[in-house]
Amino acid sequence: MTGTLFSPFDLGDIALANRVVMAPLTRNRAGPGLVPSLLAPEYYAQRASAGLIITEATQVSPQAQGYQNTPGIYTPEQVAAWRRVTDAVHAKGGRIFVQLWHVGRVSHVDLHDGKAPVAPSAIRPEAKTFVNNAFVDVSEPRALELDEIPGIVESFRSSAANAIEAGFDGVEVHGANGYLLDQFLRETANARTDAYGGSIENRARLLLEVVAAVADEIGAGRTGVRLSPVSPASGIVPSGDEQPQFNHVVEALNGLGIAYIHVVEGATGGPRDAAPFDYDALRQRFGNTYIANNGYNLELANSRLGDGKADLIAFGHDFIANPDLVERLKTGTPLAQMEMATIYGGGAQGYTDYPASIASMDA
């Protein structure tokens, strides 16, 4: 279904006011117990004019954490705090999904009582994480044992159930940006010789098992997946088989009937032409909603929507300094620039204190 960025859209049974999606944005502001910040309801409600908000990546278990002060959704206290967020967004007429996250090897022993992070294989990436208020090299990981993998699947399933209890409209499984599920997909990160390694089908197995479990728990129509076929994020090294790998993944996801795929086109936060890849091949293999992400402006968004190449368009960093991004795009109001020093950690500064434009307030 073609349209413009500001036309309504039905995401399954969920009616969206427009086709603007707020992409997940890690802000490192969770409190003790990795409970979402007391400011989080205000932060997300300020941005509720987006057709759909996808929250910051949120841990499915203590083992899943890779950065300091990122929230979880596996304890009653975390669920209660997220309920305050969803209530605030719904009160403004918004829709909100939570992104479920396991970082895998992109972590540090200081977050895990000295224990090694887990990964498909004991291969340490050239990547950094944010811990002890600084960016540091990630720690050497250990390979997951075969009998640990069902527990990974269960942690996503139970967190999806918690998400519905917390009032979310759905969940997005984080299968992108070099984190655990993406690590399993990659030949350069996954050297396993069991059912979860080797062939394209085996490397996709964990992602598909997780998505199937989530969809079974909360319904396929409330389940989405984020993918980043060629992004080198978090130390991922391309192997050259990305097209057949992701063609297979998307065909299988289509068979599960999930609501959407959310595709980072190019390098996450970087060039769209980072590596050759046919995104239209994914679009053609997936019968439901395609969310396009990375480097979009109004002109490119409307072009892709008008050509039927995408259904929804995700914007990331622009939402940090522009809580009223939808109205700014609609009226042509210049975008505010974010303060780099306040992206990660801290309080209200650089989080809830970005003002709406005068044009937006008058609209």
**Residues designated as active site:** 179
Beta bridge partners of 290: 261
Q: Which amino acid is at 254?
A: N
Of 294, 296, 298, 292, nearest to 312 by C-alpha is: 292
Q: Please, are residues 293 and 263 in contact by the beta-carbon 8 Å criterion?
A: yes
- The values of phi and psi at residue 305, to 5°, are -65, -45
Vertex 303: Cα angle to 302 and 305 (nearest 5): 60
Q: Quick one: DSSP state of residue 203? A: H
List of E strands, 288-344 = 289-293, 312-315
Vertex 169: Cα angle to 82 and 268 (nearest 5): 80
Q: E strand or H helix at 14, and its extent? A: strand 14-16
- Residue 351, classed as helix, strand or coil, is coil
* Sign of the alpha-carbon torsion through 248, 304, 275, 229: negative
Q: Please, are residues 65 and 72 in contact by the beta-carbon 8 Å criterion?
A: yes
- H helices present in 115-263, as ranges: 149-165, 180-185, 200-218, 242-256
d(CA 183, CA 204): 10
Six-digit token string for 144: 């997951």
Q: Token match 């190019």: residue?
A: 266
Q: Please, are residues 149 and 196 in contact by the beta-carbon 8 Å criterion?
A: yes
